[in-house]
Amino acid sequence: MQRRPVIDGIEFARAGSSLFGTWLASDFPRLRDVLRTQAGTIAWALEGLPGVQGRPALRLRLAGALQLTCQRCLGALEFPLDIEATLLLARTQAELDAEPLDPRGLECIVAQAEMPVHQLVEDELILALPIAPRHERCAGVQAAHRGSGSPFATLRERMLGARR
């Protein structure tokens, strides 16, 4: 098994450290239920930032693709990833709770002396997933609707055909 780095969040940010690597999509257990296949590789880069809005921060970049299932046609859907997230670091939960919530602001997390980088990557992957992934246009669904004006008419025709 590949070594998974663990960082001290505050020290990593203060030092302006950086790490990078790749992991297989199959290496993320919390994603397995939403993936169509375990194929794919995720490239990641983590950079410590000494001062963003007066706080230490982490910048995480992810690139790759996940194999999902289109919720419209149930076909394969490649979901490309090009993510950059800046995570402000708080020293304690109380410090985090004291900050006013700004939905358009940067995400803030509690820094720990041992922060698994793999978990940070997996968290950002989960946040990037669409609620209901689907193609812009599904070829199979459009072909089924060509002859009729309504998808319900197509469904009715299929149901009646199945009874015969």
pTM value > 0.75: yes
Mean pLDDT per 10-residue segment, the chain (164 residues): 86 97 95 92 97 92 96 93 95 88 85 96 96 85 56 73 64
- The token pair that represents 78 in the structure block: 């490649």
Sequence-separated (6 or more) residues with CB below 8 Å from residue 14: 48, 50, 56
Q: What is the pLDDT of residue 160?
A: 76
Query: How many domains does one find in the chain?
Result: 2
Q: What is the pLDDT of residue 106?
A: 87
Instruction: Tell whether 1 is covered by a domain.
Output: no
Same domain, 113 and 157: no
Same domain, 119 and 42: yes
Bridge partners of residue 115, in order along the sequence: 7
Same domain, 150 and 96: no
Same domain, 80 and 154: no
How far is residue 24's CA from residue 36's CA, in Å, rounded to a whole number? 14
Q: What is the pLDDT of residue 147?
A: 54
How far is residue 123's CA from residue 90's CA, in Å, rounded to a whole number? 17
How far is residue 40's CA from residue 77's CA, in Å, rounded to a whole number? 12
Same domain, 79 and 141: no
Q: What is the pLDDT of residue 98?
A: 87
Q: What is the pLDDT of residue 89?
A: 95
Same domain, 108 and 119: yes
Give residue 151's domain range: 136-164
Q: What is the pLDDT of residue 152?
A: 76
Bridge partners of residue 6, in order along the sequence: 116
